[in-house]
């Protein structure tokens, strides 16, 4: 697998974590975030577009899931993601991922969406201020990193990439 830029991985923090379950208890306040991640990967299809800075217009990475197949776009183009990896992505473990200090941050929009926040501790470094927006239907629509990178997720009209079929 090609090396992926840090910002690309940070924008996919919930989705691309390859962790194994832990015996530790997950903070109860993290459960809505984890449930939203499971709902996303259980959806028939979704398309993530990752942006490396606030107000960027061009995605720096993309991820598509259709059925039990997935694709990731990197500098080298589209590449298939193994089904086993998709399953691990759906079953992220907050303890092993360093997710903590989860909290609700309020509601936004006309059809109210909930916003959640959390902090991450990765390799001894603390990242504070990650945010997740979860639509009224329980599906996550936006993830924001503390550095300003963000991922927008759509669920309608998603098809496999032409070069990744």
Structure confidence by residue, pLDDT tens digits, 133-150 = 999 999 999 999 988 999
Question: For position 95, what pLDDT does the model report?
Answer: 61
Question: For position 75, what pLDDT does the model report?
Answer: 80
Per-residue model confidence as pLDDT tens digits over 96-112: 667 889 999 999 988 88
Tell me which residues of the chain have a pLDDT lower than 50: 1-24, 165
Q: Measured between alpha carbons, how far is residue 69 from residues 42, 65, 129 in Å?
A: 12, 6, 31
Question: For position 113, what pLDDT does the model report?
Answer: 95
Q: Which residue has the tokens 């993290």?
A: 30
Question: For position 126, what pLDDT does the model report?
Answer: 85
Distance of alpha carbon 52 from alpha carbon 73, whole angstroms? 14
Which residue, among 86, 67, 102, has the nearest Cα to 18 in the 3D structure? 86
Is this prediction's pTM over 0.85?
A: no
Long-range contacts of 22-30 (CB under 8 A, 24+ apart): 22/93, 22/95, 22/96, 24/95, 25/95, 26/93, 26/94, 26/95, 27/94, 27/99, 27/100, 27/101, 27/102, 29/102, 29/103, 29/104, 30/94, 30/99, 30/100, 30/102, 30/118
Question: For position 138, what pLDDT does the model report?
Answer: 94
Question: For position 110, what pLDDT does the model report?
Answer: 83
43 and 110 Cβ atoms separated by less than 8 Å = no
Question: For position 26, what pLDDT does the model report?
Answer: 59
Question: For position 130, what pLDDT does the model report?
Answer: 93
Question: For position 89, what pLDDT does the model report?
Answer: 80
163 and 77 Cβ atoms separated by less than 8 Å = yes
Distance of alpha carbon 47 from alpha carbon 68, whole angstroms? 14
């Amino acid at each position: 697998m090609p090396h992926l830029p840090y910002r690309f991985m940070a924008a996919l923090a919930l989705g691309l974590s390859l962790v194994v379950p832990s015996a530790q208890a997950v903070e109860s306040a993290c459960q809505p975030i984890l449930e939203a991640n499971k709902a996303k990967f259980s959806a028939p299809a979704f398309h993530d577009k990752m942006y490396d800075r606030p107000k960027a217009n061009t995605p720096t990475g993309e991820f598509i899931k259709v059925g039990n197949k997935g694709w990731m776009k990197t500098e080298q183009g589209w590449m298939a993601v193994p089904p086993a990896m998709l399953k691990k992505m759906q079953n992220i473990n907050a303890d092993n991922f360093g997710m903590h200090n989860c909290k609700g941050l309020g509601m936004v929009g006309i059809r109210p969406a909930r916003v959640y926040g959390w902090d991450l501790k990765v390799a001894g470094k603390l990242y504070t201020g990650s945010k997740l927006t979860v639509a009224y239907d329980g599906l996550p629509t936006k993830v924001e990193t503390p550095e300003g990178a963000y991922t927008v997720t759509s669920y309608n009209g998603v098809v496999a990439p032409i070069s990744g079929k």
